[in-house]
Amino acid sequence: MAHIVVIGAGLAGLPTAYELRHLLSRPHKITLISNTSKFTFLPSLPWVGLGLTQLEKVQLEVSELVTKRGIEWLPEAVTQLNPYTQTIHTDAHALDYDYVVIATGAELALDIVPGLGPDNGFTQSVCNPHHALMANIAWQNFLQHPGPLVVGAVPGASCFGPAYEFALLADFILRQQGLRDQVPITFVTPEPYAGHLGIGGMANSSQLVTELMAEREVEVLENTAISRITSQDIILANGHQLPFRYSMLLPPFRGPRFIREAVGLGDANGFIPVLPTYQHPTFPSVYGAGVVTQLAPPEATPIPIGVPKTGQMVEAMGMAVAHNIALELGAVFAQSVSPTLEAICFADFGDTGLLFLADPVLPDPETGKRRRAITLGGRWVSWMKTAFEQYFLAKMRWGSAVPWFERLGLRAVGLSLLEPVPQGEHRSVHRDALSH
Ligand SMILES: Cc1cc2nc3c(=O)[nH]c(=O)nc-3n(C[C@H](O)[C@H](O)[C@H](O)COP(=O)(O)OP(=O)(O)OC[C@H]3O[C@@H](n4cnc5c(N)ncnc54)[C@H](O)[C@@H]3O)c2cc1C
């Protein structure tokens, strides 16, 4: 019987562990390892940073969710993975695996720009729970002592939605509190244009974002690189300086150290290369899911940026991985599948918001087109985002990755999570060793 280890209990890892448990009979052992005891719904962290919700409300204790469902739980950080011997080390344990699913999300490359915070710098981030709490403490202080606000992302970043969300929600709160006239807001982005989002824009995303920023009197500096940050100023690569009293800047992502240190496992930035099945091209026992997987940008941009991986995309990767492992173990009889990378994403701006529907997220490399791309705005988007948060947390409590009614709902709007891998693009790996 096989031992499958999933590393990371986030938006990709926890649903993957549930789906594996659903597809594989009990003698197969599933272990979930994560360096934190809690699951965090990361899309809500901008709200935490701005004091619009509490962190506890978007977190779940993983232990009680998984152990009662027949998933072994190890709340420890993976420090080493040897894909040749198929062993994983934490500080306290060593585990052998037949398959490993790496779903660790991103490590934040905060050292890439001198002065980038919050740990050893001057700016805030909302990319992990700890940073969101720090951002909120600084934000409460800022409301007492308002001044210039700078929001955006530094070169190499790939996740831009939360920066737009943070800037426009901050504007909304400041207006509500009668402080907006004391706070000039500047948005700095390495994207070639506002609303590019790392994916070459989508439908009228650029126009809608630009109009919204202008309406809310947010100055936008696009195609702009930040080179250094001091306690009072953001220094741009063109030499200009932006004074700030509060700043939230999104950093670039990279894979965790144990991937960067394992020869041949990841690329130069620690991202896992994957086949259409999300299996590693060199190590058949390794699969990747989530932000830690490699996804090439659709086009080169004047300032390098990455491609975002949204909640729905990473969930689809996890579903594909669980299916393909079950297929190799003979637990399902079907074809290998690939995530479609279609996605719906909501951005909340307080009294309005934007819905992005991209089918698929990355345009066709040859035609530069997607099957469908829709951007819609309205107050209802803000409510949808709350509903999405509550729904996701509820299904993680139920122990269900993607329930049938969700698949049905997606199909109703013409979306699906998985598609068969085109002939010749998957690799069938028969593994006799799995009888032990
Ligand atoms: C601020 C923010 C806002 C976002 N907003 C949206 C949104 O509105 N809509 C949307 O669709 N997407 C959004 N996203 C993207 C979405 O959150 C990600 O796609 C998703 O969280 C990625 O899932 P993941 O499992 O790959 O990583 P994560 O959710 O980060 O989970 C990774 C897990 O692995 C653990 N881990 C890391 N290293 C180790 C290790 N060495 N050993 C063991 N465990 C480890 C981590 O602690 C974590 O629990 C947002 C992202 C951010 C940062």
Condensed to tens digits (0 to 9), the pLDDT of residues 77-104 reads: 999 999 999 999 999 999 999 999 999 9
pLDDT at 368: 78
Q: Write the DSSP symbol of residue 279.
A: B
Q: How confident is the model at residue 435 (pLDDT cuts 50, 70, 90)?
A: very low
pLDDT at 260: 96
Which one is the CATH code of 110-250: 3.20.20.10, 3.50.50.60, 3.30.43.10, 3.10.250.10?
Answer: 3.50.50.60
Domain chopping of the chain, boundaries: 110-250
Cα-Cα-Cα-Cα dihedral of 55, 58, 61, 65, to 10°?
180
Number of the ligand 1 atom closest to the C-alpha atom of 309:
19
105 in ligand 1 pocket by Cβ < 6 Å? yes
Cross-sheet strand order for the sheet of 149-153: 218-221, 185-188, 149-153, 246-250
118 in ligand 1 pocket by Cβ < 6 Å? no
42 in ligand 1 pocket by Cβ < 6 Å? yes
- DSSP 3-state of 78: strand
Condensed to tens digits (0 to 9), the pLDDT of residues 34-77 reads: 999 999 999 999 999 999 999 999 999 999 999 999 999 999 99
353 in ligand 1 pocket by Cβ < 6 Å? no
Among protein residues, the one whose CA lies closest to atom 53 of ligand 1: 127
Q: What are phi and psi of 30, to 5 degrees?
A: -120, 130
159 is catalytic: yes
- DSSP 3-state of 14: helix
Cα 307 to ligand 1 centroid, rounded to whole Å: 14
345 is catalytic: yes
Number of the ligand 1 atom closest to the C-alpha atom of 12:
25
Q: How confident is the model at residue 379 (pLDDT cuts 50, 70, 90)?
A: confident
Instruction: State the catalytic residue, choosing from 60, 159, 208, 325.
Output: 159
pTM of structure? 0.94
Condensed to tens digits (0 to 9), the pLDDT of residues 314-324 reads: 999 999 999 99
| Cα distance between residue 228 and residue 213, in whole Å | 25
pLDDT at 434: 33
Q: How confident is the model at residue 363 (pLDDT cuts 50, 70, 90)?
A: confident
Condensed to tens digits (0 to 9), the pLDDT of residues 199-227 reads: 888 878 889 899 999 999 999 999 999 99
Cα→Cα distances 47→160, 166, 323, Å: 15, 8, 34
Q: What is the mean pLDDT of residues 262-269?
A: 94
157 in ligand 1 pocket by Cβ < 6 Å? no
The distance in angstroms from the start CA to the end CA of the chain is 6
Q: What is the mean pLDDT of residues 317-336?
A: 95
pLDDT at 407: 86
Q: What is the mean pLDDT of residues 122-137?
A: 98
Q: How confident is the model at residue 429 (pLDDT cuts 50, 70, 90)?
A: very low
Condensed to tens digits (0 to 9), the pLDDT of residues 224-255 reads: 999 999 999 999 999 999 999 999 999 999 99
288 in ligand 1 pocket by Cβ < 6 Å? no
Q: How confident is the model at residue 424 (pLDDT cuts 50, 70, 90)?
A: low
Instruction: Please check the confidence at residue 352 and state whether its pLDDT lies above 60.
Output: yes
pLDDT at 201: 82
Cross-sheet strand order for the sheet of 233-236: 226-229, 233-236, 241-243
- Whether 247 contacts 234, CB under 8 Å: yes
Condensed to tens digits (0 to 9), the pLDDT of residues 143-200 reads: 999 999 999 999 999 999 999 999 999 999 999 999 999 999 999 999 999 999 988 8
Number of the ligand 1 atom closest to the C-alpha atom of 318:
25
| Cα distance between residue 86 and residue 95, in whole Å | 8
Condensed to tens digits (0 to 9), the pLDDT of residues 385-398 reads: 999 999 999 999 99
**Pick from 275, 317, 257, 262: nearest CA to 425:** 275
Higher pLDDT, 428 or 351: 351
- DSSP 3-state of 185: strand
pLDDT at 433: 32
